[in-house]
Structure 1
């Protein structure tokens, strides 16, 4: 997180009713399908409410999944301003080595603006098909897959389209996305450390994989709310934000349900239109929500499959809280809200201390996957439970890597000194069963590990499935990114 803090204000001074924020927090915390990790609310360019649910903290980066796309689109806006790319250039013109291979008329007609707006002409996601065509070069596989419709005529959420845009940017700049963005966007906005997952070609993915703080999300949203201007300096070309955040391609299905869906309001350059304002978002509840009509930005991270419900709660509770002017007499309510936000915490998993009568049996016990393999994490081959002078520990073993975790008391035990930042809660549910909830703190994901002493087996399940896969020791922001 940056040392340059955003301006702050009380909610009442910016016309925000604290009771609406309380109601939103109540609704989030009451829904068992939503696990909030962080929230920042900005009004009139000032932070009026912010909080992190322990064990999550302000400075820690969080995997943004497809919210990464909005950062990629912002890089595209900068590259357009510098004359490095043109939106109406054919995509194939940036890949002359594929010129002889790409013969389909529609593939050759695809423009940069089409891949930037998910309007390549394909009528469905192409990732698996493009990867099957060329496992080594996704752009080539994508371009070899003929679009079913004319480019620009149909919307389809399509990862290779954004990956192609990101590859073009990395080619014309000769840098990684983060390297290009650092002096042009990240430093001017005061965004500190970020990290982006790379593929086998050593390219930053563009369509996913960015790890950044909630503060970084808020700053991206505020830049767009301010039409690309930051502290009096224009960073994005004039008109870019308007173009990038309008409905460039329609995606509604015409049903009453579709009218209530925030995923059927149109799509811009890697930004979704919403029933109110527009947003970048990522799987499992990563949001950068911009509300120009209220001069507000809402940044969130979470772990939930119910992303539409999160937005429904925003519309129900936060929108009515945005008033036209300062609210007199709100000091007590603002103070109470600030105190609540400062003590936010996720409830730890239930569990008791090790049963004394079985402590000897548990100490040093090894557990194998129930049924011979762990379906949720096949590389996880063994779990060990141990005890020493510092207490109990859990060791997860996969492909020769051992992840040692401390089992603490009643709350979350945070561990930053291992290969991956984690927080663990839980304990023994009975003399024969140990349940540990392992939160991988730089991602939205928890792995729940259950050990059975009776048959020396374990089960492990993800609460939300990691979309990038990979081993447990890689469940963190990449280190050493430029």
Structure 2
């Protein structure tokens, strides 16, 4: 069992959320067992693991490629870096942190892009994901390539899902902190959360990939989810700045595919009548936090192509909803 410090946010006289029933957990297991792509599932309620099972793949306590769920973890790392004084604010222009990494001929609007814009995928630059992903990762300088792309919206405009935006955050953290993103992640997240963070791929300049291919176990993901459920404080240590979770879960843009809101690395939706916040990655990687029920749910799946498409995310939503709705 994984114990996590209890939340202290309930108001006096406020009714406790209904606990998960055995029927809900059995329904969850039955539905999950039918999903061939699923590898592992862990459910924590009020900080205690209520259910965990490996259906395939590495298992619940071994690192797995979480694909673009890395964006949610990177957002946590940015918050931890602000708490540690490495970055002063999400309003900081990222060009000031990147310094000489900004191309000399970049559009002047590059200097208007803030850390917050990158966290919420509102940089305004042409996406490096989708059809542009292959050429971007094949480029000799991922930072230069991302910053040299044309603007298709203004900084702070619509959500443009782009791993290049997340990678700019990794490069900014590296320069601001004077140590690698991996070292920062291990020090600012790994140590206080007591989780292992293995090395993951780097770009041609040695910057750890921002927003993709991190390796974390489902149990480690639960700890990150719990950090947010507990408003940035875990085991008595404040890891994220006060107010960071609220800011992260404030919708700033909207997914053009699902219509869900998007904050700082988290999608915002509603499941079974409950406010729910989630991160996701290619192939069925997911982390859910449902504060009203005291729940954190981590899911890992086969990360290899072909992609099951966005419909699989809806399947995972239904999985969680079935657990919530069962008596």
**TM-score, normalised via structure 1 length:** 0.58
Mapping for residues 56-455 of structure 1, pairs under 5 Å: 56-85=58-87, 86-97=89-100, 101-122=104-125, 124-125=127-128, 128=132, 131=135, 135-251=139-255, 261=258, 264-276=259-271, 277-303=276-302, 305=308, 306-315=312-321, 317-321=322-326
User: For 2:138 and 2:176, how far apart are their aligned partners in 1?
Assistant: 23
- Bigger helix share: 2
Once the 2 structures are TM-superposed, how far is the Cα of residue 24 of structure 1 from its aligned partner?
A: 2.1
1:73–1:230 distance in 2 versus 1, CA, 3 Å:
same
2:3 is aligned to 7
Backbone CA RMSD of aligned residues: 2.5
Once the 2 structures are TM-superposed, how far is the Cα of residue 140 of structure 1 from its aligned partner?
A: 1.4
Contact 1:39/1:50 (CA < 8 Å) preserved in 2?
yes
Q: Which region of structure 1 is more displaced relative to structure 2, 79-88 or 285-294?
A: 79-88
User: For 1:214 and 1:132, how far apart are their aligned partners in 2?
Assistant: 29
Once the 2 structures are TM-superposed, how far is the Cα of residue 204 of structure 1 from its aligned partner?
A: 0.9
Once the 2 structures are TM-superposed, how far is the Cα of residue 102 of structure 1 from its aligned partner?
A: 3.6
Contact 2:42/2:49 (CA < 8 Å) preserved in 1?
yes
User: For 2:186 and 2:137, how far apart are their aligned partners in 1?
Assistant: 34
Once the 2 structures are TM-superposed, how far is the Cα of residue 216 of structure 1 from its aligned partner?
A: 0.3
Aligned residues: 302
For residues 371-394 of structure 1, the C-alpha deviation after alignment (integer angstroms, 9 at most, x for no partner) is xxxxxxxxxxxxxxxxxxxxxxxx
For residues 402-436 of structure 1, the C-alpha deviation after alignment (integer angstroms, 9 at most, x for no partner) is xxxxxxxxxxxxxxxxxxxxxxxxxxxxxxxxxxx
Once the 2 structures are TM-superposed, how far is the Cα of residue 132 of structure 1 from its aligned partner?
A: 5.9
For residues 209-250 of structure 1, the C-alpha deviation after alignment (integer angstroms, 9 at most, x for no partner) is 111111101100011100011112211110011111221223
User: For 2:299 and 2:242, how far apart are their aligned partners in 1?
Assistant: 27
Q: SS of the residue aligned with 2:50?
A: strand
Once the 2 structures are TM-superposed, how far is the Cα of residue 67 of structure 1 from its aligned partner?
A: 1.0
Once the 2 structures are TM-superposed, how far is the Cα of residue 278 of structure 1 from its aligned partner?
A: 0.5
Q: Which runs of 5+ in 1 are unaligned?
A: 9-13, 253-257, 324-482
Contact 2:39/2:54 (CA < 8 Å) preserved in 1?
yes
Q: Which runs of 5+ in 2 are unaligned?
A: 5-17
Once the 2 structures are TM-superposed, how far is the Cα of residue 251 of structure 1 from its aligned partner?
A: 3.4
2:8 is aligned to none
User: For 2:196 and 2:19, how far apart are their aligned partners in 1?
Assistant: 30
User: For 1:52 and 1:129, how far apart are their aligned partners in 2?
Assistant: 31
User: For 1:284 and 1:130, how far apart are their aligned partners in 2?
Assistant: 18
Once the 2 structures are TM-superposed, how far is the Cα of residue 100 of structure 1 from its aligned partner?
A: 6.4
User: For 1:122 and 1:100, how far apart are their aligned partners in 2?
Assistant: 14
Q: SS of the residue aligned with 2:146?
A: helix
Q: SS of the residue aligned with 2:44?
A: strand
Q: Which region of structure 1 is more displaced relative to structure 2, 162-171 or 267-276?
A: 267-276
- Bigger strand share: 1
Contact 1:288/1:298 (CA < 8 Å) preserved in 2?
yes
1:269–1:193 distance in 2 versus 1, CA, 3 Å:
closer
1:130–1:212 distance in 2 versus 1, CA, 3 Å:
closer
User: For 2:137 and 2:243, how far apart are their aligned partners in 1?
Assistant: 38
User: For 1:56 and 1:182, how far apart are their aligned partners in 2?
Assistant: 21
Once the 2 structures are TM-superposed, how far is the Cα of residue 178 of structure 1 from its aligned partner?
A: 2.4
Contact 1:125/1:156 (CA < 8 Å) preserved in 2?
no
Contact 2:41/2:60 (CA < 8 Å) preserved in 1?
no
Q: SS of the residue aligned with 1:136?
A: coil
User: For 1:15 and 1:103, how far apart are their aligned partners in 2?
Assistant: 53
Once the 2 structures are TM-superposed, how far is the Cα of residue 124 of structure 1 from its aligned partner?
A: 4.0
User: For 1:319 and 1:149, how far apart are their aligned partners in 2?
Assistant: 39
